[in-house]
Amino acid sequence: MRRLLWIVGSLAALLTVLPSTAQAYEDQATLGLAVGYAGIPGSDTVPRNGVDVALSAGGGFGDAWSIQGLLSYGVFPNARALHLGTVGLETVYALDIVRFVPLIGAGVDGLLTVRDRRTRGDFALHFLVGFDFLINSRWLVGADVRGYWVTTHAQSPLDPFLITAAARVGVRFDLR
């Protein structure tokens, strides 16, 4: 944990010395790493609380719209731990207010659950609410909450609704 805090602190210190300029989203690509909470609030059969780690990559296709791919892994620990892998694609609308950028979005996902050496694939739809804070033209920090509706939950060990809440760090690249 100390090592993680040292890395995050070092990145934050480095980001304060880099110059900042505004860029349009259609001219940029973004890579991100998020760590946070994963929950299955209505569950009586699987653990309710877990940890989620996610990678994202995307690019803008308008002055406020972007599309990004997500890859995440969540673990819900207990004596019979549940492992949840997610691959998704989402579109995001960014209300760019200079450095503070509220986000809303929606997407589709493929889920893979593993519990007691049994695997199950499912599909889900999700919505996103979050924000980015642009430290400078290259680096950002943010947070988001995603709510998932598991459309194929009838045969799945998952309940129909999942939630993740994460803190994120990202880097932006100019495409022009």
Q: Provide the CATH topology of domain 25-174.
A: Porin (2.40.160)
User: According to the model, what pLDDT value does residue 162 have?
Assistant: 92
Task: Give pLDDT tens digits for 108-143.
Answer: 999 999 888 888 899 999 999 999 999 988 999 999
Where are the chain's structural domains? 25-174
The three-point CA angle 54-60-63 to 5° equals 135
What is the per-residue burial (b if ≥16 Cβ within 10 Å, else e) of 9-20? eeeeeebeeeee
User: According to the model, what pLDDT value does residue 10 have?
Assistant: 62
User: According to the model, what pLDDT value does residue 21 have?
Assistant: 46
User: According to the model, what pLDDT value does residue 75 have?
Assistant: 95
* Residue numbers in the chain where pLDDT is lower than 50: 14-15, 17-22
Whether the pTM exceeds 0.85: the reply is no
User: According to the model, what pLDDT value does residue 20 have?
Assistant: 44
Phi, psi of 109 (to 5 degrees): -140, 150
